[in-house]
Amino acid sequence: MSKVPVFNLYMGCSVPANYPNYEAAMLKVAETYDIQLEYMEGVGCCGSPNLRAIDYLGWLTINARTLAIAEKNGHDIVTPCNGCFGSLKDVYHFLKHDANYRKQVNDILKKDGLEFKGTITPRHFVEALYTDIGIEEIGKKITKPLDGVGIAIHYGCHLLRPIDVTEFKPEFLNDLIQATGASVVEYPLWKQCCGATVLPVDENLAIRLARDKLKSMKESGAEFIAVVCPACGNQLDLQQLGLKESYGEEFNLPVLLYPQILGLALGMTEEEVGLNMNRVPADSILNHLTG
Amino acid sequence: MSASNPVLIIGAGVAGMTAAVELADSGIKAVLVERQETVGGNALDLYKAFPTDDCFYCFEGNRWRPGIRKCFYRSALIDQPNISLKMNSEVNTISGTPGQFTVTLSVGPQYIDPKKCTMCGLCLEKSKAFHLISPQCQPQAVVYNPSINDDGAKQAEEECPTKAISLNAQPTEEIIKVSDIIIATGYHEMKPVNMDEYSYGKHPNIITQLELAKIIDPNGESNGVPLKPSDGKPVKRVMMVQCVGSRDENYYPYCSKICCVFALKHANILMQERDGVQVSVVYMDIRTYDRYERYYHTARESGVEFIRGRVSLIQPREDGSLDIVVYDSLLNKYLKFSVDLFVLSSALEPPEGTNKLIESLGLKSASGFVGIADPKTENEVIVGDHIYACGTALGPAEVPESVTQARAAVSKILQSRK
Amino acid sequence: MVVVYPMTEMDEQSGPPITLIDPIDMSKLDTKFREQIKSMPNGEELSACFACSTCTAACPIANIWQYKPHQLIRMIILGMKEEVLSSNEIWLCLTCFQCQERCPQKVRVTDIFFDCKNLAAEEGKVPPNIIGLGKELLEKGQLYTVTADWEREDLGLEPAVPGLSVDSMKNTLKKTRTNKLVEGGE
């Protein structure tokens, strides 16, 4: 029993509201590998980079609060959202090193009987899969491997950078994709932002960024896109509809959340991973399942 | 008495060879240990070395020696009785006390006796196991690759007109006593595989300056005609980018010092001596210190295109060419180029094993290179008690500087023995 | 911005005034701005900048910026506080961290732009749509609210997110700058 990895599950606000299929597929994948995910009590939104921009102390406090709650039971946090991961990891990293702000934040948290100590680590769900379960174990349970179909990975900025904060290597996700039997398509703009973050400020710019990215993937021979973030997923999926409507430009690149891909390879049904919620129809992935 | 002991020189590049010859000529025995199959180090791959644009063996300062054009070190390294040259060899351990070091060496098998080999080429025809690294190689002998142990090799051994081949040669271990150690371990050109903005290692037409030097060497495979590694077709457009991994806190914080001149030298050769090649250089500062300003001047005169800025994006095309977007910070515009060859002026880094050497001898480290013992003095070749360093073992340096340092180290040893 | 240069006796003697160049009067810049940014989160490395413009080359959208990332850093170092804090660019930043990742001098460019945004916010200079997001956080405690709970149920999830608390966000932001910004914006 003691070997079962236990995590505090931090959902943030975007996944539950916009991507329940991500949430469901993640929970089922976790169950398959005996990962115990416990929804955190009394937490909410991370505030996003927008809060960080206008209210640094508020942003630090709200995320330090989440970390402090997790510290009470001592289990690391996992989250499926790059935005939440970026916020939590950045705050964790910063407060560990900055005694002044740590004191300011803890003075506020004290009223709720909480204190940030930095004793647990916030992690992305896919990194926990990679590290705590491992590629070999993941591979053992796959019953319907993909047939080598080419998948372009959009890692997402806040998963990869700043590297000294996120400590996430692109190889983690490459290996996770390859474990499902799919192949990873390299494309020149793999590092580039999807544009989701400027959506509230400049929609046209956001569309252009998504277009560049999609074009680069398509030209490199990708048939599907894998993402691990609701904001990136939404942007790359939804903008394809917009690009088709406004410019008649069709990329036809279904955007799948990683647990959906892994889930299907583990033998889950398309209903279980919520394939019907994808905007760009993603059923064609089923044709690539073997076994 | 320590004075009668030989001096150990680690590394037979420009600095190590100079030190060995100078010591030997002064009557001191030198054991010159080289890891590779030929002496010459990185400089062997440069067919023109600055500042004289001459073959690097032939610097002005060496010309007094009889018969030196092209062959100064050839005779010296093989025939000077005071030099004991150990090829394919490495220093294993160093113990003892300053002035009386005990050194164990792993000496590689001597398949070819350089004193007998005349480089007639017979063995090269018999088996792929033999090859000639460069007509300039030292020792002047072919080299043998034991992993290709075919019948042709055995035939060559039998038929070699001078009986220079011995396929059963075995590695040996030697223990020697030395009074002083000269570290001349040189540098390694960084392979910038981790800088994904440059895609090095992901595309055959993205190379480093040392790799370019080999391509444009008249003694090389294409007789110096620049050809695309991807398909062997002629190169028409070349782009170089400076400060790759140098002056970069994520890699090496120091300026590698010679890359600007190195790049400009190559740019000038390509523009002036090769047909229809256009070169662009992307830089953040051009540092042609001292007399090297003339390379910069020549480059501008011969039409090399200089872009002050950094590379934004590289996109390979199906025909092997590369679309490169560069941000021009003087113009405040983005420029798009299509090039055949993208050359990275990559940092000079300490060669493998430097750390181990520094630790085992209790020396100082200067950004990973061997640090001088007392930075306050001007004794920049003294790195420990009876331990000296010269050339790029101390950090990036050009050839004349390496030679000067080698001589300085030798002169310190001579003084200490008076 | 028109700057009037006082004519001193020295000027009169040394020839015609240089009004055509319209230089930035260095004595009017805020020399403390640089130190201010350096004292803010992750601003320490600011002075390491050697103006190579790698940040701009790395930025996927600087092409449409009037002031490029390396120019903004330059402006901070020079003390052009007013111009930096009023610029649109700091708000257009994607926060993709590519500039910061590639900076050869480890200047935390993206983080420094966050510092600038916080200083601008302190002065009440925040674009309305960002204020709107702040208001959303202050009033609803989150950016996205579950509306289609049947979708969750179809997937076997609880209709409401287990453990969700929106009050902690609301209560926290009431005491911090967000509240002031939203109040001030109304």
Per-residue confidence (pLDDT) for residue B151, from 0 to 100? 93
Output the CA–CA distances (angstroms, integers) from residue B166 to B146, B159, C131, in the order listed: 11, 12, 82
Asked if residue B58 has pLDDT above 80, the reply is no
pLDDT of residue B51: 65
Chain B residues closer than 8 Å to A189 by CB: 313
* Average pLDDT value for chain B: 90
Res B366 pLDDT > 80? yes
How do residues B27-38 score in pLDDT, each as one tens digit?
Answer: 999 999 999 988
Q: How confident is the model at residue B114 (pLDDT cuts 50, 70, 90)?
A: confident
* Total H helices, total E strands in chain C: 12, 0
Half-sphere exposure of B165 (CA within 13 A, CB side): 28
Residue type, B318: E
Residue of A nearest to C181 (CA): A54
Spell out which residues of chain C touch residue B327, defining contact as CB-CB under 8 Å.
53, 56-57, 62
What are the structure tokens assigned to C57, written together? 């080359």
For the cut 70, the answer to whether the pLDDT of residue C8 exceeds it is no
- The model's pTM: 0.90
Specify the range with the lowest mean pLDDT, choosing from B94-98, B342-346, C11-15, C156-160: C11-15
Contact A188 B313 (CB under 8 A): yes
* CATH number of the domain located at residue range(s) B190-347 in this protein: 3.50.50.60
Domains of chain A are: 6-125 (1.20.1050.140), 141-288 (3.40.50.11810)
Q: Which residue has the higher pLDDT, C5 or B311?
A: B311
CATH 3.50.50.60 placement within chain B: 2-108+171-187+350-416, 190-347
Residue B101, pLDDT score: 96
Mean pLDDT of B137-153: 87
Looking at residue B60, what is its pLDDT?
38
Is the CB of C56 inside 8 Å of chain B's CB atoms? Answer: yes
- pLDDT, tens digit, 9 for 90 and up, residues B274-294: 988 999 999 999 999 888 999
Strand A36-39 to strand B83-86: parallel, antiparallel, or no bridges (unpaired)? unpaired
Q: Please give the pLDDT value at position C20.
A: 75
How many whole angstroms separate alpha carbon C40 and alpha carbon C38? 5
- β A77-79/A122-124 pair status: parallel
Segment C113-170, tens digit of pLDDT: 999 999 999 999 999 999 999 999 999 999 999 999 999 999 999 999 999 999 999 9
Give the 3-state DSSP-derived string for chain A, with helices as H, strands as E and coil as C: CCCCCEEEECCCCHHHHHCHHHHHHHHHHHHHCCCEEEECCCECCCCHHHHHHHCHHHHHHHHHHHHHHHHHHCCCEEECCHHHHHHHHHHHHHHHHCHHHHHHHHHHHHHHCCCCCCCCCEEEHHHHHHHHHCHHHHHHCCCCCECCCEEEEECCHHHHCCHHHHCCCHHHHHHHHHHCCCEECCCCCCCCCCCHHHCCCCHHHHHHHHHHHHHHHHHCCCCEEEECCHHHHHHHHHHHHHHHHHHCCCCCCCEEEHHHHHHHHCCCCCCCCCHHHCCCCCHHHHHHECC
* Domain limits, CATH 1.10.1060.10, in chain C: 29-127
For residue B2, pLDDT beyond 50: no
Flag if A53 and C130 touch (Cβ within 8 Å).
Answer: yes
Closest CA–CA distance from residue B197 to any residue of chain C (Å): 9
Residue type, A246: S
**Chain B residues inside the 8 Å CB shell of C54:** 284, 310
With CB atoms and an 8 Å threshold, state whether B248 touches C50: no
C90: nearest CA partner in chain A: A53
CATH 3.40.50.80 fits C29-127, yes or no: no
| Residue B70 predicted with pLDDT over 70 | no
Q: For position B62, what pLDDT does the model report?
A: 44
Q: Which two tokens stand for residue B128?
A: 């792929």
> Cβ contacts (< 8 Å) between B197 and chain C: which residues?
58, 102
C60 close to A (CB below 8 A):
yes
Is residue C83 within 8 A of residue C119, CB to CB? The reply is no
Query: Can you give the pLDDT at residue C27?
Result: 94
Task: Tell me the pLDDT tens digit for each residue of C14-27.
Answer: 666 666 778 899 99
For residue range B189-234, what is the model confidence (pLDDT) as tens digits? 999 999 989 999 999 999 999 999 989 988 778 988 999 999 999 9
Q: Which residues of A touch B196 (CB under 8 A)?
A: 191
Given pLDDT bands bounded at 50, 70 and 90, which one contains residue B135? low
Average pLDDT over residues B242-260: 96
Q: Is B198 helix (H, G, I), strand (E, B) or coil?
A: helix
Q: Which residues of chain A have pLDDT under 70?
A: 1-3
> Are A51 and A86 contacting, i.e. CB atoms less than 8 angstroms apart?
no
Query: What pLDDT sits at residue B264?
Result: 96
The answer to whether B38 touches B89, Cβ cutoff 8 Å, is: no
Confidence of residue B418 (pLDDT cuts 50, 70, 90): confident
**ipTM for this model:** 0.95
Give the 3-state secondary structure of residue B373.
coil
d(CA A256, CA A233): 8
Distance of residue C11 Cα from the nearest chain A Cα, in angstroms: 45
> Which residue among A20, A42, A43 places its CB closest to the CB of C157?
A20
Q: Which two tokens stand for residue A243?
A: 């690009």
Four-residue CA torsion sign, A262, A267, A268, A271? positive
CB-nearest to A20 from C114, C133, C151 is C151
Residues C33-46 have a mean pLDDT of 97
- Classify residue B280 by its DSSP letter: E
Whether C35 has a pLDDT exceeding 80, the answer reads yes
Task: Tell me whether C64 touches chain A (CB under 8 Å).
Answer: yes
Lowest mean pLDDT among A143-157, B124-138, C24-38, C51-65: B124-138
What's the CATH superfamily of B2-108+171-187+350-416? FAD/NAD(P)-binding domain (3.50.50.60)
Give the residue from chain B lying closest to A189, CA to CA. Answer: B313
CB pairs under 8 A between B and C: 41
State mean pLDDT over B140-146.
89
- Nearest CA to CA, how far is A113 from chain C (Å)? 13
Reading the block at residue B373, the tokens are: 């013992």
